[in-house]
Amino acid sequence: MPNEVLSLTRALVALPSITPDDAGCQALIAERLRAAGFQTHALRFGETDNLWATHGSGAPVLALVGHTDVVPTGPLERWSSPPFEPTERDGRLYGRGAADMKSAIAAMTLAAERFVAAHPDHPGTLAILYTSDEEGPAKDGIQAVMPWLADRGIRLDYALIGEPSSAERQGDRIRIGRRGSMHGYLTVKGIQGHVAYPDQARNPIHQFAPALTELVTTRVDEGNAHFPPTSFQIYEVKAGTGANNVIPGELLVNFNFRYGTASTEASLRAKVEEILHRHGIEFDLRTRVASAPFLTERTALIDAVVASCREHLGIDPVQDTGGGTSDGRFIAPTGAEVVELGPLNDSIHKVDEWVNVADLAPLERAYAGVIRHLLRSD
């Protein structure tokens, strides 16, 4: 029996959809979905393509969510085969986007097609929501689609996202939430002067050093049952005039907090300010939340995903909130239940990205199982 998930994955990987260019992925999928009886809407915001497709009507609304864009390839000479020429070797399919996340897109699309063919009069709405702006700024993707849906009175009840969630075996881990990400942009103010006359200047680097030690060693919270303690990382430091005899007048420090529901933007900012004030530092601080933390606690969607993993993947998945961010951060605030289930994430964003060929058909069956649990009336 031909592996249709493999065939569709290969077709998608062959399209060089480097973010935000969809490169025809969604047109290919939309044509299939219309043939299966879905109503499709191509939503173009800025340079981003989004696809909203539905079958059925009314509540509950279950959306299968994914992204057709991929990250850049990196140096082509480091790839064992061209990144947009899907290649099978030793039981793996290689190509950019194979794991993140065109295989999941293919599996979700086929699961949706087969479900509506078997259950044309299913209750509720089965929806497909794909974007070409997840790997980039993400402002014209799902973030832009959610208000478009709200303006039309459409509210998602469940969102199953095909991000590569698995660690060592497909289905061994699902994401039931994600940490938030808060950036900080700190300016430490000193007094510029000659290095030979430090008494006539105030070196912001020297002044900040003790505060830096405290910032990186302070545990701002203990986390909770669902999230680990908040982490703090400095990722950029700038100072100096370019001259070797000038004490700089300011120090620029950019940092990031990854945090769960035990902290908030206000509490994290207050902790940073408290430390800086205690060290007598004159400063300006600006913060920006790139994404708020979200958590789906034990719900119908989690139950359906766990049951389907047991039935079709033969595994009881760990439920966690690790990793970076995902488009779930734009969906969860609307009240939808959000869970991520996808292939192994070992090779994502790397040279020679791959997915196990043997995992593709079972992934489709797992997605189909979730749909049946939530939308089948019999």
What are the E-state strand segments in the chain?
39-45, 48-56, 61-67, 87-89, 92-94, 125-131, 158-161, 173-175, 177-178, 180-189, 193-194, 231-239, 246-247, 250-259, 283-291, 294-295, 318-320, 337-340, 354-356
**76 — pLDDT class (breaks 50, 70, 90):** very high
* pLDDT score recorded for residue 376: 81
Say if residue 144's pLDDT is above 70: yes
Q: Which of 134, 250, 327, 359 is catalytic?
A: 134
Contact call for residues 309 and 317 (beta carbons, < 8 A): yes
Q: Which of 21, 22, 49, 69 is catalytic?
A: 69
In sign, the C-alpha dihedral spanning 27, 33, 34, 40 is negative
DSSP state of 78: G
Architecture label for domain 4-178+293-375? 3-Layer(aba) Sandwich (3.40)
Neighbours of 280 (CB within 10 A): 9
Say if residue 338's pLDDT is above 70: yes
| Whole-number percent of the chain with pLDDT over 90 | 96
Say if residue 1's pLDDT is above 60: no
| DSSP H or E stretch at residue 123 | none
Q: What is the pLDDT of residues 306-336, one digit of tens each?
A: 999 999 999 999 999 988 889 999 999 999 9
The three-state secondary structure class of 277 is helix
69 is catalytic: yes
* pLDDT score recorded for residue 130: 98
**42 — pLDDT class (breaks 50, 70, 90):** very high
* pLDDT score recorded for residue 325: 84
Radius of gyration of the chain (CA): 24
* pLDDT score recorded for residue 293: 94
**Average pLDDT for 252-274:** 97
Cβ neighbours of residue 82 under 8 Å, at least 6 residues apart?
A: 76
Q: In whole angstroms, give the CA distance from residue 293 to residue 177.
A: 7
359 is catalytic: no
If phi > 0 it is left, if psi is from -120 to 50 it is alpha, else beta; for residue 54 that is beta
Q: Which of 61-65, 202-206, 294-298, 364-368 shows the lowest mean pLDDT across its residues?
A: 294-298
Say if residue 169's pLDDT is above 60: yes
Q: What is the pTM of this model?
A: 0.89
Q: What is the pLDDT of residues 351-370, one digit of tens each?
A: 999 999 999 999 999 999 99
Higher-confidence position of 297 and 63: 63
Cα distances (Å, whole numbers) of residue 65 to 74, 123, 291, 367: 26, 20, 18, 11
**Average pLDDT for 183-208:** 98
Residue (of 178, 166, 182) closest to 313 by Cα position = 166
* pLDDT score recorded for residue 200: 97
Architecture label for domain 180-291? 2-Layer Sandwich (3.30)
For the chain, what's the residue count? Answer: 378
Distance in angstroms between the alpha carbons of the first and the last residue of the chain: 28
**Average pLDDT for 155-163:** 98
Q: What mean pLDDT value characterizes the chain? A: 96
**Average pLDDT for 49-61:** 98
Domain boundaries, the chain: 4-178+293-375, 180-291
Say if residue 32's pLDDT is above 60: yes
* pLDDT score recorded for residue 378: 63
Contact call for residues 116 and 122 (beta carbons, < 8 A): yes
The residue with tokens 């109503």 is 39
Burial class, 44, CB count within 10 angstroms (exposed 0-12 / middle 13-18 / buried 19+):
exposed
